[in-house]
Chains A and B, each alone.
Chain A
Amino acid sequence: MMMRKLKLELPLNQTQKVRFERAMERLKLLTSETNNSVIVADSIHEDALLLKGHGTSEVDGELLANVCGVIVHVDKLVYVRTLRAKYKPEVRDIVVGRVIEVFQSCWRVELNSNQDGVLKLSSMNMPDTVQRRKTSADELNMRDIFVEDDVVCAEVGCIHRDGGLELQASSHKYGKLEKGELLKVDPYLVNKSYHHFHYIESLGIDLILGRNGYIWVGEHVQVQDPLIVETRKEQSHTPLETRQNILRIGNAIRVLSNLGFTMTKEVIMETSNLSNKENIDLHDMLGSEFHVLVAENEAGRRR
């Protein structure tokens, strides 16, 4: 589902092709003066004494890039920020992942990173909110919390020197995600921000922009006292309208991912509203016309 082709693999008619190219051309013009992209083995010309960061190496006194990306300067530090690459974890990032294995006292979570994340039972908040030492009985009941293929939301707790990363979910906003869909986009399209959890009130859905490029769109769940949740456990069905809203947001994200545009809540909402305004059906959102419309909209927005 992850898309990364630059050319749209959609049948565009002549008008759409011209419109799309014009929109892309405008985007190019808007950023042309700040485009300092490098590719592998490009030399980074710097006169001043610099600290070399990620994605660079010094060979015979010349600073070379090791990855394709964009040069970033932070004071004296110079590094190359990769575009298309696996997720590089940072402490306290909010991530969404899929449980792939249940171990003795931890879960292994797939995160689109170099290595799988580990979510320890001890850094997990229990349904009964009581902070206590986890017993062997808890270990036996681990499958009551998460089983394989569950989608979970957590925070990066710490990163070991060998690249292994530990997750933690010690708050009520983290945990299992149900009744929704998981979308996978390139991690560079999700920027770090103060808010990764969004509640879209008008549609009644939750949107979690995981920093690892996994985006969750699901029915809104009330974060409330877990004791109350315990009492009413009956299966409630998601209403049709909410499901359609989830799909609409999901398709908006797919279109943005196909076009390679940065995802923020605002852009996603704007794309979804655009589809409503133009009266585009859910299943037509992945068609050529809507892709062109979104590209044009983005070109207009950035101006």
Chain B
Amino acid sequence: MEYVNPEGLRLDGRRFNEMRQIVAEVGVVSKADGSAVFEMGNTKVIAAVYGPREIQNKSLQKKNDHALVLCEYSMAQFSTGDRRRQKFDRRSTELSLVIRQTMEACILTELLPHSQIDIFLQVLQADGGTRSACINAATLALADAGIPMRDLAVSCSAGYLNSTPLLDLNYVEDSAGGADVTVGILPKLDKVTLLQMDAKLPMETFETVFALASEGCKAIAERIREVLQENTKQLEYRRAA
């Protein structure tokens, strides 16, 4: 199948280095301490953060003087075309772990001893790149909850199809069988916190794909910063007496 036509356009009309439209909003769950909705094209994720709060289950606590970060990823039954049966399958367990590790790397857990932070993520619509969308949503929600972080962790995926590196794969491109590289970075500190690839790529190709994904991450970080800046400004000018 042709994923990139001779004019250089992809199936949904994007160019190779173009991302889908991003819509982000903070404070969507009124009961949660922090929450956000993050949309990338047709992928839509809602995140809710509770905490830092008293540890509910002491047995999960490993390091006494660090905060415990827990993450739960799930896909809504209606998120894909065909009905999903299990709520917690192996895929979501793996994703929960990946997201938890990424977020744990950017939260300053040593500042919050004896407490736990719960991150709940639900995919409302799945169209490829749910992993990245979840990380971005979680970052927004954590920042909204006022949890101290090293940097905003952002993530973006890139792939390689028809000898072209492609940014931000959608579901059709994702299931084409090519390599799918998900990159998570801390843009300010210039560090990589997540790198996953589910196929093989030659070294040189990998580097171009990785560079493309990092560029995507930086663009997303810009967008996330704008949303947070706007939110903080609003809160401040409303409060100021």
Cα(A69)–Cα(B239), bound, Å: 12
* Total contacting residues, chain B, CB less than 8 A: 45
CB-CB < 8 A to B53: which residues of A?
86, 114-115
Of the candidate stretches A36-44, A216-224, A237-245, A280-288, the one touching chain B is: A36-44
Q: Is the CB of B143 within 8 A of A31?
A: no
A31 engages B236 (CB within 8 Å): yes
A70 adjacent to chain B (CB < 8 Å): yes
Interface window among A122-130, A134-142, A260-268: A260-268
The one of A68, A163, A261 that contacts B112, using a Cβ cutoff of 8 Å: A163
Known: A5-B28, A163-B112. A55 touches B236 (CB 8 A): no
Most buried by A among B112, B186, B239: B239
Are B54 and A67 neighbours in the complex by a CB distance under 8 Å?
Answer: no
Which residues of chain A in 159-188 are interfacial with respect to chain B, using CB atoms and an 8 Å cutoff?
162-164, 188
Alpha-carbon separation in the docked complex, A188 to B232 (Å): 13
- In the complex, which residues 133-156 of chain B have their Cβ closer than 8 Å to any Cβ of chain A? 143-152
Which one of B27, B115, B232 lies within 8 Å of A114 (CB-CB)?
A: B115
How many residues in A have their beta carbons less than 8 Å from beta carbons of B?
50
Residue numbers in A under 8 Å from B115 (CB-CB): 114-115, 163
Cβ-defined contact, A3 with B112, below 8 A: no
Closest chain A residue to B113 by CB distance?
A: A162
Residue in A37, A259, A264 whose beta carbon sits within 8 Å of that of B236 in the complex: A37
Q: Are A66 and B149 in contact (CB under 8 A)?
A: yes
- Residue in B28, B65, B147, B241 whose Cβ sees the most chain A Cβ within 10 Å: B241
Name B235's contact: one of A41, A84, A116 (CB within 8 Å). A84
Partner of A27, one of B143, B151, B225, B237: B237
Contact A31 B240 (CB under 8 A): yes
In the complex, which residues 188-241 of chain B have their Cβ closer than 8 Å to any Cβ of chain A? 188-189, 225, 228-229, 231-241
A residues within 8 A CB of B187?
A: 41
* Complex A-B: 23 CB contacts under 8 Å: A5-B30, A34-B240, A35-B233, A35-B237, A37-B236, A40-B143, A41-B189, A55-B148, A57-B150, A68-B146, A68-B232, A69-B232, A70-B236, A84-B34, A86-B145, A110-B54, A162-B65, A163-B112, A164-B114, A189-B239, A260-B238, A261-B241, A262-B239
